[in-house]
Chains A and B, each alone.
Chain A
Amino acid sequence: MMDTNELIAALSTDSIRPPAPGRALTLALIPGVVIAICLFLGVLGLRPHFLSLLSEPRFLFKLLLLDLLAALSGYLVLRLFRPSAPPRGAVLALAIPPVLLAFAIGAELIVVPAAQWGVRLIGSNSMVCLRSIPFLGLAPLAAILFALRNGAPERPALAGAAAGLFAGAIGAALYATHCPDDSPLFVAVWYPIGIAFMTALGAALGARLLRW
């Protein structure tokens, strides 16, 4: 009934072209991030004196670190849209934020007396932090996975994990503008838990949703 030549006739007649990776990701992220920002403003809100706090090195470092993580994981997601685009460089680049954080922890341990380390590490807001990153990251995760369905990831679970990491980083970057705990010790202990949860969730969803 339908042989390969007939299939080719049908394929070459189909002129509808799905959006290119960058476009698909941007178009999906706009509503995803707008929802996350609305939830953020409705439930959490910016920290008081946000602008004047930007001169505070710990606060500024925290924001830049999470923005960098979001950018690098976003780049990885974009690579994973395409089959035959080796993601190795993009994966290696993800080591940059943890290395920067390690230096910041070193500096913190030198500057802050040992008696204060525990207090800084526990912070005042850790449970809110644990809940907020997934809460703010869910809409971006849905958006990124939706966009990735236009892609052809060779390893769907890996692409899903990258999507979860990206969404977790977006959630964390938003949450960081609310969170009063700025010490690198706090950031190193609590933020990764929420981000890792999102990464695992993304991997599980990706394995199911990103097959093609």
Chain B
Amino acid sequence: MYDGARVRLDEREKEWAVLMRAGNAGDSAAYRRLLAQLTAALRAFAGRGLARAGASGADAEDIVQETLLALHLKRQTWDENGPLSPWLYAIARHKLIDALRRRGRRIEVSIDDFAEILPGADEGKGSVAADVSRHLGELPPGQRNVVNCIAVDGASIDEAAARLSMSNGAVRVALHRGLASLAAKFRSYE
């Protein structure tokens, strides 16, 4: 039983490394599959971390998204010869601690002043989605349109370029910058 679980973990580790190397070599389908798998692991990690800190699980998805952005923007710091999960969880831990610290500060400074306008109980997952959308809304229009077109409408680089009358290169750069600014918005949101 124990050995079985361990073999599964080893296999998962191997698969992650293979997918990540493929992604680094330009295989975006492999990379996408990897991100979907990592998301499940990150959700479990964030849920556990929040529970252990005695915090509500409502922010878990927010932390998952912030971690996905960070691991994407920092993927060049993974050593291709090593396993993926120590690197992954180092990033996840960093983001979890950051989120807990921010959340602590946020509550400390604001709870009394804003008591009347605090959201009601029906906000749960909804408030998280609102956060991300708000960050997206704060991006410069050029970046926002490209990110929206690709993320929400599911367009490819070519389709986005045609729809927004931009060159492929300009779409690529705007997408990358947009994701980097999104990560920065998350970070500066106190």
* Residues of A bordering B, CB below 8 Å: 1-21, 24, 81-85, 150-152, 154, 211-212
Contacts and interface: CB of A to CB of B under 8 A. Distances in A.
Contact of B68 (A7, A81, A85): A7
A11 B156 CA distance: 12
Contacts of B147: 10
B39 A4 contact: yes
Nearest to B171: A13
A21 B33 CA distance: 25
A8 B67 CA distance: 11
Interface in B3-57: 23-24, 26, 28-29, 31-32, 35-36, 39
The A interface, classified by DSSP as helix, strand, loop or mixed, is loop
A150 B180 CA distance: 11
Nearest to A85: B79
B107 interface: no
A9 B76 contact: no
Given A4-B39, A83-B77, A10 B90 contact: no
A209 B179 CA distance: 19
B39 to A, nearest CB: 6
B172 A2 contact: no
Task: Identify which of A12, A13, A17, A83 gathers the most chain B CB atoms within 10 Å of its CB.
Answer: A13
Interface in B124-168: 129, 132-133, 136, 147-148, 150-152, 154, 156-157
A212 B183 CA distance: 8
Interface of B: 23-24, 26, 28-29, 31-32, 35-36, 39, 61, 64-65, 68-70, 72-79, 86-87, 89-91, 94, 129, 132-133, 136, 147-148, 150-152, 154, 156-157, 172-173, 175-176, 178-179, 183, 187
Given A1-B136, A3-B129, A9 B187 contact: no
A19 B39 contact: no
B148 to A, nearest CB: 8
A10 B39 contact: no
Given A4-B68, A83-B94, A13 B150 contact: yes
A84 B61 CA distance: 23
Given A4-B65, A6-B151, A82-B79, A13 B175 contact: yes
Given A6-B151, A8-B32, A83-B91, A152 B68 contact: no
Contacts of A83: 74, 77, 87, 90-91, 94
Nearest to A12: B32
Given A16-B172, A16-B176, A8 B68 contact: yes
Task: Identify which of B89, B152, B183 gathers the most chain A CB atoms within 10 Å of its CB.
Answer: B152
A12 B28 contact: yes
Task: Pick the 4 closest A-B CB pairs, nearest first.
Answer: A83-B90, A12-B32, A84-B90, A10-B151
B69 to A, nearest CB: 7
Given A4-B64, A8-B32, A14 B179 contact: yes
A4 B66 CA distance: 10
Contact of B32 (A9, A24, A151): A9
B187 A15 contact: no
10 contacts: A3-B129, A7-B68, A11-B72, A11-B179, A14-B172, A16-B172, A18-B76, A82-B79, A83-B90, A84-B86
